Structure 1
Amino acid sequence: MAKTYLLSRTLDPILGVFTGLLAFHLNETNPRSAPLPGHTLRELVAWKWTQSKELRQQRDREDEGDWERVTRELGVAEGERK
């Protein structure tokens, strides 16, 4: 069975992506359907990015403490490292 295309093999996916992005933009900016302040995609991504950054920093601080504990257990002094 032959595949059918609306415009062409390459333009159909481009049209689909463009239509989706346009619909998303209109949904975010339309006063009737706009999300509440603080619930736009940009704000939610920034919030999640900040949250994951804090978790990474906390994990790094814990890992540094573990590294110091391991070196102390092995008896490696700061001056002995090469």
Structure 2
Amino acid sequence: MPPPLLSRTLDPILGVFTGVFAYYLYERHPRTALPEELRLTSLLRWKREKWQQERERKLQATEDPIDWQVIAASVEAESDKQAPK
């Protein structure tokens, strides 16, 4: 294992910062001129909206009315069976 340049904890932090900063400069540089719909923030926003819609669809499909009184009655009946006589 090579010796750390600055310290064992600062080297990874510096590496992550450098990578994020380089990607930021890549997206914002006029030469690359990425359209707004291809930038990371808009792609992440699109993915999150898609995930939320899918989650809502699943919740709507599996939503069954829960009858808490039936559940409470079954728990009481079960506890009455197990109670010592």
Please confirm whether the aligned pair reaches a TM-score higher than 0.5, indicating the same fold: yes
Partner of 1:38: helix, strand, or coil? helix
2:60 is matched with 61
2:43 is matched with 44
Greater displacement, 7-16 / 42-51: 7-16
> 2: CA distance between counterparts of 1:30 and 1:17?
20
Partner of 2:21: helix, strand, or coil? helix
Runs of 4+ in 1 over 6 A off after TM superposition: none
Deviation sequence 1:14-63 (CA, Å, 0-9, x none):
21111111101101110112422201110001111111111111111111
CA drift of 1:3 comes to 3.5
> 2: CA distance between counterparts of 1:59 and 1:9?
45
Q: Which runs of 5+ in 2 are unaligned?
A: 73-85
- Amino-acid identity (%): 39
After superposition, the CA RMSD in angstroms is 2.4
**Residues matched between the structures, number:** 71
Q: Which runs of 5+ in 1 are unaligned?
A: 72-77
2:2 is matched with 3
1:74 is matched with none
Residue 33 of structure 1 pairs with residue 32 of structure 2: yes
Q: TM-score, normalised by structure 2?
A: 0.67
Letter of the 1:23 counterpart? A
Partner of 1:22: helix, strand, or coil? helix
